[in-house]
Amino acid sequence: MKRLNMEFGVGLFLLLGLAAFFYLAIRMGDVGLLRQDGYTVTARFISSSGLKEGAMVELAGVRVGKVQRIVLDPERYESVVNLAIEPGVRITEDTIASVRTAGIIGDKFIKLTPGGMDIYLADGDELLDTESSLDIEELVSKYIFEGGDTPQSD
């Protein structure tokens, strides 16, 4: 009987440990199985090159959400990006959304620059002011092949 109680206790301890491990794995991996309330806003970009779903959304240097979905608008040839914003974060109507790079060759993310209006976006609203990503390769090739000549003096 004593042996049965000990085996039961060890088994229960093992199950609790596994449950804690899976909870932490889901939480740390940002899997999204644990529902967090918040709201979604949309931003349209001419180019969102390099931006990926799951990328962070930053306001004043603080992570306030993530990129939920990126699709192409076939009529306007624009990138439509859905941003999942954390609860309690209020974004004004004149906020500017920019696709930025973390460091020189880092991952792309969305930087929000707040405006001065007192009107706040709600779930499903759209950010109207956006800045597309800057493509370094495109700039370098433009400089080399189109206008890279320096003026020469006679």
Sequence spans of domains, the chain: 39-136
Rounded CA gap, 120 and 151, in Å?
50
pLDDT digits (tens, 9 = 90+) for 62-100: 999 999 999 998 898 889 999 999 988 999 899 999 988
Taking only the tens place, the pLDDT of each residue in 21-30 is 888 877 776 5
Q: Report residue 75 CA to chain centroid gap.
A: 25
Q: Are 67 and 152 in contact (CB under 8 A)?
A: no
Q: What is the pTM of this model?
A: 0.67
Q: Tell me which fold the domain 39-136 belongs to.
A: Elongation Factor Tu (Ef-tu); domain 3 (2.40.30)
Q: Which amino acid is at 11?
A: G
Task: Give residue 34's pLDDT.
Answer: 42
The residues, ordered by sequence, that sit 6+ positions from 52 with a Cβ below 8 Å of its Cβ are: 67, 70, 107, 108
The pLDDT confidence band at residue 112, using thresholds 50, 70 and 90, is: very high
